[in-house]
Amino acid sequence: MANQKNQNNIPETMEEFMSSIKHGCELARNLEPELVNNMANQPDMLLFSIDEVVRAFNDAKERLVMMISQKQGQTMATTSSSLTPPMLLPHDESQSGQMMGASAHFMDHLFLMQQQPQFGVRGLLENKSGSDVQQYGVTRQIGEMGGKNVEVSDKSKGSEGEMQGIEASPSRPRKSRKNDMEKIMLFPAPQVGNTEMPPDDGFTWRKYGQKEILGTKYPRAYYRCTHQKLYACPAKKQVQRLDDNPNIFQVKYRGEHTCHMSSTAPSSFPPPQLLVDISNSKDMTQTQTNISPQPSPSTTSVSGWLSTVNLGLQGGGGGGGGGAGPSSSKYGTDQYFVADMADAMFNSGSSSGNSMESLFPSTEDKWEAAEKKS
DNA sequence: GCAATTTGACCGAC
DNA sequence: GTCGGTCAAATTGC
């Protein structure tokens, strides 16, 4: 009964949510032309305008939280208790009027929006496995956790063969050639910036190969730890878009990072948002500890995000040629997102006059274009 | 020059 | 023989 009521409420809340988001976008758009002037002459006005934008997004966020908690109410009863409680909003809502809170909230909004269901994670997961209930639970959490890592006790992944079913050719599942410890995770593709870039997982990787895999639409990229030589770090990863949802990267980790154990080793960034851990290794304990992005609150917290922004913005250099962009970790998924968002919001002056469109581009369009290419 | 990516070739597991 | 994983020369941008 109660579930039914919640279900009925969702579309209405969704509508309100969309309306709030649109309102926020509009305010931001209105803000844009005045940005330069106000910045120089009327910083108070600018402050006020920004606060308005923040409030609009806050409003949207609250509605989204409502929707999510409604969904949670529906699924909790059937969802595995191993799923951690949601930690969507680490900050105090009461701060929203303050400037400090405002900018930080805005970042949180941006992050949250990156996780919108429209990215099709749920569809993907439901299609991939028979376990709808569990997968739905996972999907729900993706939103709830605002990009926080979600470790899934994947009960359906008994064997490697089944795992291959997820990652590779449906027609000819191949056994893994090695019995290496593997950890497989799903990450959302960046929605803005370089969407071709594999998701940042807090480590620095160097690409050493790419290969078309039989039965899959998208090539698989091979990365090894940048510090492989320096610290004899054996960690590797494979990144591949999922066939039926290119917005999701499947990342397969092999080997453990030993580089961060060295006192001189470069420290790694806090890990990014992880959609799902679908690792299939029989003995994951070690790999999990070392590789799995940890759901540290700072990842989505204000300070975490702000520091992430700094890290992201100070990247810039390096990165070589061959159309070679920066390595995935220099401008990770989240860093890209925030940096781009900030860029679009405060650095616009672009001809388009619609920064929000660049902030929230239609991912479908992008992928359609990509598929047309191929 | 350096560091990173690209890409065809090679190797080994199946 | 096929295919996935890796190597290494070529290429590119800083």
One pLDDT digit (tens) per residue for chain A, 374 residues: 444 444 445 456 677 777 777 777 777 777 776 666 665 666 666 666 776 776 777 667 666 666 655 554 444 333 333 333 333 333 333 333 333 333 333 333 333 333 333 333 333 333 333 333 233 223 333 333 333 333 333 333 333 333 333 333 333 333 344 445 677 888 777 655 555 566 667 788 899 999 998 888 889 999 998 887 777 788 888 998 888 887 888 888 888 777 765 545 454 444 445 566 655 444 433 333 333 333 333 333 333 333 333 333 333 333 333 333 334 443 333 333 333 333 333 333 333 333 333 333 333 344 444 444 44
Single-letter code of the amino acid located at A243:
D
Q: Which domain holds residue A259?
A: 2-373
**How many degrees, rounded to 5, is the angle at CA A320 between CA A315 and CA A325?**
65
Query: Which residues of the protein have their beta carbon within 7 Å of strand C?
Result: A 168-169, 174, 176-177, 208-209, 211-215, 220, 222, 224, 236, 238, 254, 317, 319-324
* Cα–Cα distance for residue pair A244/A265, rounded to 1 Å: 38
Q: Distances in Å between the alpha carbon of A193 and those of A168, A196, A329, A337? A: 27, 9, 14, 7
* Cα–Cα distance for residue pair A374/A371, rounded to 1 Å: 5
The pLDDT of residue A231 is: 73
* Cα–Cα distance for residue pair A309/A312, rounded to 1 Å: 5
pLDDT tens per residue, range A133-190? 233 223 333 333 333 333 333 333 333 333 333 333 333 333 344 445 677 888 777 6
Q: Distances in Å between the alpha carbon of A354 and those of A35, A344, A359? A: 13, 9, 9
Q: Distances in Å between the alpha carbon of A313 and those of A226, A270, A332, A370? A: 20, 15, 11, 27
- E runs forming strands in A220-328: 220-225, 236-242, 245-254, 276-277
The pLDDT of residue A56 is: 73
Query: Which residues of the protein have their beta carbon within 7 Å of strand B?
Result: A 174-178, 205-211, 221, 226, 318-328
For chain A, how many structural domains are there in total?
1
pLDDT tens per residue, range A315-348? 333 333 333 333 444 333 333 333 333 333 333 3
Measured from Cα to the C1' atom, the residue closest to B5 is A324
The pLDDT of residue A162 is: 35
The pLDDT of residue A191 is: 59
A217 CA from B6 C1′ (Å): 19
Dmax of chain A from CA atoms? 66
The pLDDT of residue A61 is: 65
* Cα–Cα distance for residue pair A203/A329, rounded to 1 Å: 6
pTM assigned to the model: 0.43
A24 CA from B11 C1′ (Å): 56
A176 CA from B13 C1′ (Å): 9
- Measured CA to C1', what is the nucleotide nearest A222? C5
A243 CA from C6 C1′ (Å): 24
- Measured CA to C1', what is the nucleotide nearest A329? B4
Q: Are A66 and A11 in contact (CB under 8 A)?
A: no
* Cα–Cα distance for residue pair A369/A301, rounded to 1 Å: 35
Please state the separation of Cα A194 from the chain's center in Å: 13
The pLDDT of residue A248 is: 82
- Measured CA to C1', what is the nucleotide nearest A224? C6
Single-letter code of the amino acid located at A287:
T
* Cα–Cα distance for residue pair A254/A185, rounded to 1 Å: 12
Number of Cβ within 10 Å of residue A162's Cβ equals: 14
- Measured CA to C1', what is the nucleotide nearest A323? C12
Nucleotides on chain B that have an atom closer than 7 A to a protein CB are 2-9, 12-14
A257 CA from C2 C1′ (Å): 32
- Measured CA to C1', what is the nucleotide nearest A174? B14
Please state the separation of Cα A274 from the chain's center in Å: 6
